[in-house]
Amino acid sequence: MIYLDYAANTPPEAEVLEAFCSVSKEYIANPNSNYLLGVEANNRLRKATEQIASLLGTQGSEIIYTSGATESNNLAIKGVAGKYKKYGRHIITTFLEHSSVTGPAVYLQNQGFEVDYVDVLPSGLLDLEHLKELLREDTILVSVCWVDSEIGIKQDIERIAEVIKPYKNCVFHVDATQAVGKIPVSAEVADLISFAPHKFYGLNGCGVLIKKENILLEPQIHGGISTTAFRSGTPALANAVAAEKALSLAVSDMDRRYEYVSELNRSLKEGFKKYSGILINSTENSIPFILNLSIKGVKSEIFQKELEGFGIYVATKSACCVPNTVSRPVYALTKDRKAALSTLRISLSHLTSKEDVEFFLDCFDKCYKKVVFGGQEHFYGKI
């Protein structure tokens, strides 16, 4: 089995699982309880939270734990809309976003908010001149992903923040789910930052929203203050400790992992050069962990199934997308509907071996000949 869908989910590190289990056994009390066991659990929670904050350049008081990046994005977007609607009802986002960002945006649009989408340049970067044109005095939120989940394009978050800065009532939210643990991320550049540990070898069922102290949010879950007034629920101590462990491991080995995966990415691109029917959608601004391509005239799901026959698992789009629909990020980038219907997303890891890549390319060639040429075993010239 060769797994090449690490952008969707990653296997937890052994040390992460060990941390989760040991803390679950050692601290049995609710961290909000005011007796000794609860105080001890709360102290352990604070320690993990402060470590996460330190690794991301923020404060422990600015960490909100959620059930995942989807909840973090919903809390950020709907929470801002609820608290800042007195200043306006205009929201700006992009077509590169995960559905947990575009979904809340559409929901708010149906509630009377106005939503605009920033154009994407051929490089994959946002058109900052268009962003400047869209920004208004009644704009209350700009939501942009640090790295998009399908093409892997890394946005210049610092420059975007500078464009937004003059608008005092506009909150800047960044979905950093595909960035944290892979590239350096500083929480200082945005008002709200979302991510989830299961993208960097942590556990599912845990998410984080970093919220600057001056930003207000309307809670989406009610029933008690928990660790924060903005998100109710019993604090999941073991999840927090596991998240801290996963982040610490990822950050400590970030440079080595990045260089290794870059080498794998280059090998894949070299292997695809012989196919004239393949369009590489990832650009020079994409991180090496994600390589997106389109296969001319082939539906994504058909090719995906062929690769699965060899025990190879890749994605067509984000795992949260509706099947048999266009890839919105690829369409936003290429303006080519057919290309956006024929995408494969290969996402790599430091766990991917060079032999895995070689085997994938060999199987890919077999699948290409079968699907594109109807089973022909031979071809002439470039495919």
The model's confidence at residue 224, banded by pLDDT at 50, 70 and 90, is: confident
Same domain, 240 and 296: no
320 is catalytic: yes
Q: Among 208, 237, 252, where does a domain finish?
A: 252
Same domain, 246 and 264: no
320 pLDDT higher than 60:
no
Q: For 229-277, write each residue's pLDDT tens digit.
A: 899 999 999 999 999 999 999 999 999 999 999 999 999 999 999 999 9
| Identified catalytic residue from 21, 145, 206, 320 | 320
Whether 379 maps to a domain, the answer reads: no
357 pLDDT higher than 60:
yes
3-state secondary structure the chain: CEECECCCCCCCCHHHHHHHHHHHHHCCCCCCCCCHHHHHHHHHHHHHHHHHHHHCCCCHHHEEEECCHHHHHHHHHHHHHHHHCCCCCEEEEECCCCHHHHHHHHHHHHCCCEEEEECECCCCCECHHHHHHHCCCCEEEEEEECECCCCCEECCHHHHHHHHCCCCCCEEEEECCCCCCCCCCCHHHCCEEEECHHHCCCCCCCEEEEECCCCCCCCCCCCCCCCCCCCCCCCCHHHHHHHHHHHHHHHHCHHHHHHHHHHHHHHHHHHHCCCCCEEECCCCCECCCEEEEEECCCCHHHHHHHHHCCCEECECCCCCCCCCCCCHHHHHHHCCHHHHCCEEEEECCCCCCHHHHHHHHHHHHHHHHHHHCCCCCCCCCCC
Same domain, 140 and 240: yes
Containing domain of residue 289, as a range? 2-8+254-372
Share above pLDDT 90 across residues of the chain, in percent, rounded to a whole number: 92
Same domain, 300 and 201: no
**CATH code of the domain containing 71:** 3.40.640.10
94 pLDDT higher than 90:
yes
Same domain, 241 and 260: no
**How many structural domains is the chain composed of?**
2
Provide the pLDDT for residue 326: 86
Same domain, 274 and 217: no
Q: For 126-176, write each residue's pLDDT tens digit.
A: 999 999 999 999 999 999 999 999 999 999 999 999 999 999 999 999 999
Provide the pLDDT for residue 318: 61
Q: Among 191, 218, 252, where does a domain finish?
A: 252
